[in-house]
Structure formats: structure tokens, C-alpha cells
Structure 1
Amino acid sequence: MTGPLRPWHPEDFDDWCETCGAAPGQFCKPTCDTGYTAEDFRRDAERRDQDAPAPPEQGTPPPFRRSEDAAMPQELPTQEQFDAFADDVARELGTHCRTAPLPEYSRGLARLIIDGDGRAVRLCQPHDEQPSRLKVCAALPDEAQVQTPSIGFTAISARHVAREITRRLCPLHTEAAELSAQIAARQQAEASARAAVAEAVAGALPGARIEEQYRRTRIIWQHDARPPGQQGPVQVDSVCVIVGAFGESVTVEASGRPDRVISMLAAFAQPRRE
């Protein structure tokens, strides 16, 4: 395409705003920080007037300018066509973007777009009956903990798609990636603290079995209380310890011969030596 693009118009948007809920073809609410408001339109109009070229001399036909206004949605029925379109979108995005296959996506055609910093988005065509309708989702390291932001649009052109990704998805992608990193760091700190306490407990119970569970560690110790070589019913002393999420609490369940359990409780009740 040649020539500068005209400013946005409300009718350019064929999706609901995911931030303020404005309907397609309508301005976003004044408080919306990701959509297109009337104030944005006013600024674009002023910029357009300032950048407008001088009117042509009388008798000179106006120059022909190709515009996305007249572009028809592109239908991408095959994976090869979709891959080529994704490559064009990556070039429009710049920032050393590249594409890669996305075989795990089974609902339709898809391609992964990755920038030079390793951030990635999934460009998808979720519905075969609407080959010009696309969806792009942020690809996060751990999507089980963070809701993955996504937007939808029509495949008018690679430039249009790249612009929608930059304008609408990138801010949401950044926020989600930061939240995902915070959650990962918190989970790592939690696991490290719990592991330190579990290691100390297991050290006090030689031969104990350690079982990792969701946000807690279970430690089981069992011992045959019969003297060596003695026959008769099995007598087992057992201790089950649950270490809490951050290792801030330890729950103990013990069973066995009364003298062993009583001595353990007596030791537990002893005043703490500073």
C-alpha cells in the first residue's frame, strides 16, 4: 500500500471493545484506556487537517490513493495461504518478528508469531465457515494461572491485522505477562520456603517418605516398634506431617505405643529455650 492512511473512524471497528464494552461502530467511553474515543477521533482529525496536502491546481486530476477502506476481507482457506498471511503480519509488526507452526491448535488454521524479545501471540482462524475472521491470543508461559487476553478482527490486510495487534492486544499482553511473572515468582518463593521446612522435618525422621501435593508437602514416617527378633503382632509407630504452603505451619498426626506418643508430647510441651 502507498500513501498515508486516514485517521480511524468508529465504523472501522467491527468488534466490541473488550475494555469498556462499546458496540461495533461506536466510540468507546471517555474513560476507556485501550479503545477509540471521541477525543481520539478529534485529535486524529486535527492531525489529518495539518498534514493534508495542498489542493491540486485547477484542471489537475487528484492523485489516486489506495486505501484500506476499499479493501475486501481476505479469505484464507488453506494452511499455506494462512502461513503466508501470518508472515506478512510479522513483517508489518517488525521488531524482528518471525513465525512458527502451531500444531497443538486443533480448531482451525493457526500460526505462532514471535518477536525479538521472545513474546508470542497465536494468530488463529477458529471458524472454517468464516475464513476472513481471525482471532489472536497472547501466548503466556503459564496460562493456567492468568486469563489469556485475545481479540478478534477481519483479515482486511496484514497491515490492518498488525495495527490491531499493536493497538489492542499488546497492552493487554504486557499486563498479562507481568502478572504471570509475578505469580511464577510467588510460587517459586512459596515452593522454596516449603521445601526448606520439609527437608528439616525429614531430617528429624530418618527414612521418611516425602509426597508433594498441591501447595503442601506430606511427610510419612513409620517404624516397627517390636524389638529385633521378637514375634507377635506388628506394632508400628507412625508420624504424618503436613507442611503448609509457605512452610509457615506444620501439622502432625502421630500414632503408636502410648509411651512413645506420651514422650513425644512431653518433649513438644517443654518450654522453648532461647
Structure 2
Amino acid sequence: MSAVRHHLRTQQEFTAYLARVGEELGPNSRTEPHSMYGNLCVALVDDDGRRLIAFQPDRARSDEMRIRALLPDESPIAAPVIGVSALEPRHVAKAIRSRLYPKHADALARSHEALTAREAQRQRHEQTAALLLSAYPQAEALSDIPRQGATSVMLNLPGTSHVRAEVWPTGSTVDIQAHVTPAEAKAMLRALAVHHDRQARTP
């Protein structure tokens, strides 16, 4: 005997069906309204607080749906999604447990790693910018940054000389633009060479 396929053609039918799926997932699961570009759509919050978005991408295939497990808003990782047929609700709940939950757990772990790395990069960036700003009392941070996520530090020297240091988003690289006299440029290059020489001699 072939499995019964439910054709869900209205939002009311779709919501009622997902409510039955929620009952299969746990006694405290609940549905909540959710909109998505005019498609039939509903949010399903399970017993563990996972927020699942069920939607029908093709109204002509009313017995098919996709279910996406949301990640934190700040996550750079794409939320996992599975496609399922609208069979009996227990079959959809089983697919969620066996296919979507493992993908969601993996995505959460990768999201945590990415957010941790992003925060470490942000701290390096701020530390580098603060280091440059503290080196010269006259230095100031600028907001007109061509590279997204970068910080530009400007040092105005006597006369028309100025140096602009752009800290890359990673905080590990700095671009230097200098409008200085030839003598000042020579002094800067000499200081840089001395620094590198000392670094090379350091065991």
C-alpha cells in the first residue's frame, strides 16, 4: 500500500499539518506565523527551542515542502534545509530527526567556530589600530575607509607631510601611504630596514 500524500493548498491546511508534525516531535512543540515571499510557510519551534521554517517552494507541487533549521542571526553559515514529501506527519518528523537535526548540529558547531574566529579577528584589528593611535599623540582615526572593515589612522606631520595607515580587517596587515619629503621617506625606510634586521637577529 502506497503512503498517503497530503496536498496542502491553503495556509490553514499547511499550518494544521505542521502542527501535527510538531506533535510528533514533542509535546511542547508549537507553530508560529512566518511569511516568505508569498509561499505557504509556517515556523515550527520544537521542544528544544530549535526554530524550523517549513515552506512550500512550488504551489503546483502541493505535496512537497522544504524545512530549514535556523541559526543565530549573526551566523555566517547557511542554515541547513531538507526537502520532504507531505506524507503522514510521523514520517516528516522522522526525516527532521534523522536528516535535519544532524545537519543543524553540524552547522551550529561550524557557526560557533566562525563567530569565535571573527571575534578574535575583531580584537586583533582593534588592538592594531589602538597601537598605531597610541604611537603618536597627533594621530586620529578616520571613517572614510575604502576597504570594508578596515580602520584608517592619519598622522599629520609639520608642514604638508602626512602618513595614512590602513589597518586591514584581519588586524595582521597595515597599508602605509605617506606624503612626505624625500628625506622623511629615507628616514622611514631606514627605520623599517633596521626593524627587520633586528627581527632577523632575534633568536
* TM-score, L = length of structure 2: 0.80
* 1:174 CA displacement: 0.9
2:154 corresponds in structure 1 to 221
Partner Cα distance (1:107, 1:179) in 2: 31
Residue 158 of structure 1: aligned partner: 89
- Return 216-225 or 247-256, whichever deviates more: 216-225
Moved more, 147-156 or 165-174: 147-156
Structure 1 CA distance for aligned equivalents of residues 48 and 161 of structure 2: 56
Give the CA deviation at 1:125: 0.9
Which residue of structure 1 aligns with residue 18 of structure 2?
86
Query: Within 5 Å, which residues of 2 pair with 1:24-39?
Result: none
RMSD: 2.9
- Could you tell me which residue of structure 2 aligns to residue 255 of structure 1? 179
1:190 aligns with 2:190: no
2:173 maps to amino acid: S
How do 1:234-253 and structure 2 match up within 5 A?
236-253=160-177
- Measure the CA separation in 1 of the matches of 2:95 and 2:146: 44
Partner of 1:96: 28
Q: 1:209 aligns with which of 114, 135, 142?
A: 142
**Structure 2: gaps (5+ residues):** none
Percent sequence identity over matched residues? 28
Distance change in 2, residues 1:213/1:91 (3 Å)? farther
**Aligned 8 A contact 2:25 2:47 in 1:** no
The corresponding residue for 1:135 is 66
Matched to 1:76, the amino acid is L
Say whether the 8 Å CA contact 2:21–2:93 is kept in structure 1: yes
Question: Structure 1 residues 88, 175: CA separation in 2 closer, same or farther (over 3 Å shift)?
Answer: same
Q: Secondary structure at the match of 1:208?
A: strand
Amino acid at match of 1:124: F
What displacement does 1:255 show?
Answer: 1.5
Are residue 114 (structure 1) and residue 45 (structure 2) matched?
Answer: yes
Work out the number of aligned pairs and report it: 195
Q: Which has the higher contact order (CA 8 A, sep 6+)?
A: 2
**Unmatched runs of 5 consecutive residues or more in structure 1:** 1-68, 227-235
List 4+ stretches of structure 1 deviating above 6 A.
none
More helix by share: 2
Residue 22 of structure 2 aligns with an amino acid whose one-letter code is A
**Distance in 2, Cα, partners of 1:116 & 1:192:** 36
Range 264-273 or range 156-165, more displaced? 264-273
Q: Distance in 2 between matches of 1:151 and 1:187?
A: 28
Q: What's the CA shift string for 1:71-117, capped at 9, x where partnerless?
A: 532122111221122222122111732222222x1151111222344
Amino acid at match of 1:72: V
| Partners of 2:86 and 2:75 in 1: CA distance | 29
Q: Following the alignment from structure 1 to structure 2, what is the Cα–Cα distance between the partners of residues 209 and 81?
A: 56
CA 268–143 in structure 1, closer or farther in 2 if over 3 Å, else same: closer
